[in-house]
Amino acid sequence: MPITGLDHVVVTVSDVEAAVDFYTRLPGIEHVTYGGGGDGPVRHALRFGDQKINLHEAGDEIEPRASAAEPGDSDLCLLTDADPAALVAEVEAAELRIELGPVERTGARGTLASVYIRDPDGSLIEIATYA
């Protein structure tokens, strides 16, 4: 059984609304909800391409969950096709503060040009493009 990809990750946040506002400022990320009613609580996710980030609000996580998940403990790398200059311009246009970058990093397939920002809880978000 070879592993072939990554479908989703879970990020624990202190405030789902603030997280949705932050992440949906990035082009291509949309907020989706599912569940509720007889299926349990309404769940929140951020969908982009063929992947998603599920949001768990601290203190109201969906079971099963990570044993020690806390707001601000995530470190994600999101990919884009934008060249580094366009990436910087889009992040700045979204009124998000760049902490570092663009800088060269190594990704799963080779060299990346990466820009780093932080979400409202302090999780590190790398946005990168393959060189």
What residues are annotated to the active site?
A: 126
Task: Say how far apart CA 28 and CA 24 lie, in whole Å.
Answer: 8
Q: DSSP letters of 7-74? A: -EEEEEES-HHHHHHHHTTSTT-EEEEEE-GGG-SEEEEEEETTEEEEEEETTSPPSS--TT--TT--
Separation between Cα atoms, residue 40 and residue 56, nearest integer Å: 14
